[in-house]
Amino acid sequence: MLAGSVTDARLNDVAAMPFSRSVQCSIPVGVSKIETDVLVIGTGIAGLSAALAASEHGRVLVVCKGELHDSNTRYAQGGIAVPTQDPRDIEAHIEDTLRVACGLADLDIVKYVIQRAPAAVEKLITRGMAFDREGGMLARTREGGHSRSRVLHARGDATGLELGATLAKHVHGTPNIHVIQFCMAEDLMTCDGRCTGAMVWLNDSERAVIRARTTIIATGGTGGIFLHTTNPLGATADGTVMALRAGAVLASMEFMQFHPTALHVGIEPMPLVSEALRGEGARLVDAGGRRFMSDYHSDGELAPRDVVSRAIVTELRRARGDCVFLDVRHWPTDFMSGRFPNVYKTCRGNGIDPAHQLVPVRPAAHYMIGGVRVDRHGRSSLDGLFACGEASCTGMHGANRLASNSLLEALVLAEVCGQAAAQEAMSEANPAPRFPDHGERSPARSSNSGPNAIAAWRRRIREASWEYVGMIRSGTGISAMQALIEDATVALSTTHPCRSLIELRNIITAAAMIAFAAAMRTESRGVHYREDHPQSNDAQLKQIELCLVDGHLTGNWSS
């Protein structure tokens, strides 16, 4: 059924959950006020690229909830998928992206991003980004789902670190940009149907209101809501949830991508063992040393991520094991330490010598395809609010993201988003939003009340998300998730706000959104797999859009 209405009873229960609204016009008494033209929330590749672009037009304030470098971007290893200028190469990249996306990618966005990729990378290089080279040419490797070698990397597997450092250097050197670290956005401000900035926590006890002509959400991913994840644990979908509460439309929240190979050594977040290892010939084997991927896909170890992830889970269920293994013992002795220095160092630091031992790996939550629904300029459905990077949903990845396409999407579209947000901010038709003089007393105070309860609920929700709305889903599991969400909502409703509770509430809302969309999509497609509906159903070849209607979560199939 493709109508907006949904018949599943559990779904209706969750739809009735109270989702508290964003801060409206009034400002709590005693809260500091900060003004800017463009507010950027997030300092990964998306936030920094958007800030640099916006700074050409107006004042930009950038906030992040940890240190500037603490982001998913920092952890990116494999690289950025970029075609050469050759039109055949561009066409092949577009085809690979569409094929992996299982029919749901937006062709216009895919073309727009990939055609601009070579120029975006040239600009990055002029900014000082030192990609690895072979014989003077950019070195390109191949990853799962790619028909050609096109993934650029830096310092072997330190691409994200280099990228973040390059952009941060420019941000620090730009007078128009001001950065506040350890500043956590709690909610967006809205006035007369327009986003006017955000309410933030400057530290554990002090709040401020940032008034901005336009606001850009660049808060990254959602992996932190799952028990096993490669994301930093602060990846709790804050921006996506704030946008929902403020009245924006979200899309594709059922599509969470799991990475097949995270290092299984008890570290949190789990260190990624880049797909590029398999691109370079690493073999995936079971505990008995048997290569099993050819049983599942003709591309073997280079099959798309969702196929490899589910194959591993199937093998683990069959063998009742905790992990499978990557075997690189056939590589020349120094190859791994030279080509993948970080993975090599992490293995050695955990007592594994890949030259002589198998490397234990298992799937982990990795990339959120869904997010704030935006157009190619990053404009959301809420006036004054923009989004880019992993927190946004442009339609580029459809139902499954091609490896290394996320940095590319952020690189190209965050710049466009930054420009559009700044131009709108500086337009005469958009006067600076006013703070009303009167205010209400802030009910929020820093509180340590219930830290154990908060930690316990966080763990329970992460375990349940992994179990019920993770890689293999079913109607029964989704219902169990929804029941737990209701319990958590009731249990936490009286706890005083503090940063950890705000994160937990975002985790719960993000889990609720994933469960809601996963219940609506009664088919399997891309990274969304329902064991009770294992086939794809082309009648559902549409995006699911979520929004709040009268405080209730509501889902619609896109037209």
Ligand X SMILES: Cc1cc2nc3c(=O)[nH]c(=O)nc-3n(C[C@H](O)[C@H](O)[C@H](O)COP(=O)(O)OP(=O)(O)OC[C@H]3O[C@@H](n4cnc5c(N)ncnc54)[C@H](O)[C@@H]3O)c2cc1C
Residues that bind ligand X (CB under 6 A): 41-47, 63-66, 70-73, 75-80, 159-160, 184-185, 218-221, 230-231, 238-239, 272, 367, 389-391, 404-407, 410
Task: Give me the amino acid identity at 303.
Answer: A
For the bound state, the minimum distance from the C-beta of residue 209 to ligand X, rounded and expressed in Å, comes to 14
**Token couple for 538:** 């082309």
Report residue 178: phi and psi, to 5°.
-120, 135
For ligand X, give the closer residue by CB, 292 or 340.
Answer: 340
Q: Which of 59, 194, 211, 305 is catalytic?
A: 305
For ligand X, give the closer residue by CB, 506 or 543.
Answer: 506
For the bound state, the minimum distance from the C-beta of residue 306 to ligand X, rounded and expressed in Å, comes to 15
* Cα 299 to Cα 545: distance, rounded to the nearest angstrom: 33
**Token couple for 467:** 């179990």
For ligand X, give the closer residue by CB, 63 or 302.
Answer: 63
In DSSP notation, 98-130 reads: HHHTTT-S-HHHHHHHHHHHHHHHHHHHHTT--
* Cα 540 to Cα 251: distance, rounded to the nearest angstrom: 14
For ligand X, give the closer residue by CB, 272 or 282.
Answer: 272
For the bound state, the minimum distance from the C-beta of residue 304 to ligand X, rounded and expressed in Å, comes to 15
Helices 107-126 and 87-100 pack at an angle, to 10 degrees, of: 130
Task: Give the residue from 209, 212, 208, 237 showing the smallest Cα distance to 223.
Answer: 237
**Token couple for 529:** 């797999």
For ligand X, give the closer residue by CB, 221 or 395.
Answer: 221
For ligand X, give the closer residue by CB, 65 or 310.
Answer: 65
* Cα 309 to Cα 145: distance, rounded to the nearest angstrom: 13
Alpha-carbon distances of 392 from 29, 241, 277, 404, 518, rounded to whole Å = 33, 11, 29, 16, 18
Residue 290 neighbours by CB under 8 Å, 6+ apart: none
Query: Does the annotation mark 305 as catalytic?
Result: yes
Check if the beta carbon of residue 368 is closer than 8 Å to that of residue 222. yes
For ligand X, give the closer residue by CB, 162 or 390.
Answer: 390
For the bound state, the minimum distance from the C-beta of residue 111 to ligand X, rounded and expressed in Å, comes to 18
- Closest residue to ligand X in the complex (CB): 44
For ligand X, give the closer residue by CB, 71 or 509.
Answer: 71
Task: Give me the amino acid identity at 299.
Answer: D
Residue 310 neighbours by CB under 8 Å, 6+ apart: 296, 471, 472, 529
Which helix (H) or strand (E) covers residue 197, if one does? strand 194-201
For the bound state, the minimum distance from the C-beta of residue 437 to ligand X, rounded and expressed in Å, comes to 27
Sheet containing 250-251: which strands, arranged edge to edge? Answer: 392-393, 371-373, 250-251, 544-549, 552-557
Helices then strands, counting H and E runs in the chain, come out as 15, 21
- Residue holding tokens 């499978």? 324
For the bound state, the minimum distance from the C-beta of residue 387 to ligand X, rounded and expressed in Å, comes to 9
User: 546: helix, coil or strand?
Assistant: strand
Write out the catalytic residue numbers. Answer: 305
